[in-house]
Amino acid sequence: MVRENMLEVLGRIARAAQRAAADPSEIILVAVTKNVGIEGMCGAVDAGMTHIGESKIQEALSKYEQVRAYASAKGIILFWHMVGHLQSNKARDAVRIFDMIHSVDSLRLAREIDRQAAKIGKVQDVLLEVKTSPEITKYGLMPDEVAGVLKETASLDHVDVKGLMTVAPAVHDPQEARSYFRTLKQLSARLNTLRATRYELRMLSMGMTDDFEVAVEEGATVVRIGRGIFGDRKEA
């Protein structure tokens, strides 16, 4: 079932990319394994999953070593993505296991990630989370704050900002999410034009099970899919 679901999602990504005149091979599918057990994750590795997304630090820690070892024994390198809200006091563990942290929503968190990464001699790849919707439950920097935070993070030696991330509100019609994704794409383009960083922001993490095709049409380079791959899962 997981293999079939992954293939279906990849096909939908390819068709959406074609509509946007984008290269589907440049779009990363992150399989979000929240509430998926070790056995299920290993099965997904067998189905071809290489990018894993986790939402909670403690859950990720409980599965990381076993799943990584399982993949390594098969010659597979996994890339681990932190896609949920990250508290500063969890930065040490996040830096230890994640290749990419999507949810940097404050300068304070960026500085703490930098401090923890310095301790282990790592440069941590991150995305800045942007609040593109008015929902009070959403985390993220306001769009007009991002340029200033980028300028400050440029001085951090152990943090590398690769791009931006957003979470659209839940909608009945995926088309209703389009404006939020377009806002992020336009912000990224504006920051690149302004040369807000010394390098180009290339990654846009946006789109989940219910709206990822619209996100791809609007320029997503990373989509985060849980239910669309693993089905409905009970909360732990």
125, 102 in Cβ contact below 8 A? no
In-domain check, residue 234: no
Task: Indicate whether 213 belongs to any domain.
Answer: yes
pLDDT tens per residue across span 189-236: 999 998 877 778 999 999 999 999 999 999 999 999 999 999 986 644
Amino acid occupying residue 193: T
Pick 129 or 200 by higher pLDDT: 129
pLDDT at 236: 42
pLDDT over 60 (residue 24): yes
Cα–Cα distance between 222 and 81 in angstroms, integer?
A: 11
> Whole-angstrom Cα distance, residue 233 to residue 90?
25
Query: Mind listing the pLDDT tens digit for each residue in 206-216?
Result: 999 999 999 99
Task: Give domain status of residue 233, yes or no.
Answer: no
Kindly report the length of the chain: 236
What pLDDT is attached to residue 52? 98
Answer yes or no: is 51 within a domain: yes
Q: How far apart are CA 27 and CA 90, in angstroms?
A: 28
Range name among 23-32, 85-94, 154-163, 192-201 with the lowest pLDDT average: 192-201
Q: Is residue 9 part of a domain?
A: yes
- Tens-digit pLDDT profile for residues 44-103: 999 999 999 999 999 999 999 999 999 999 999 999 999 999 999 999 999 999 999 999
Average pLDDT over residues 25-33: 97
Specify if 31 maps to a domain.
yes
- Does residue 148 register a pLDDT over 90? yes
Residue 64's pLDDT is 97
CATH code at position 45: 3.20.20.10
- Assess if residue 87 is contained within a domain: yes
Is residue 147 situated within a structural domain?
Answer: yes
Angle at 187 between CA 181 and CA 193, to 5 degrees: 140
Mean pLDDT to the nearest integer, 119-134? 96
| Number of domains into which the chain is organized | 1
Residues 6+ away with beta carbon under 8 Å from 206: 165, 166, 167, 168, 180, 181, 184, 215, 218, 220, 222, 223
Task: State residue 45's pLDDT score.
Answer: 96
Range of the domain at 24: 2-225
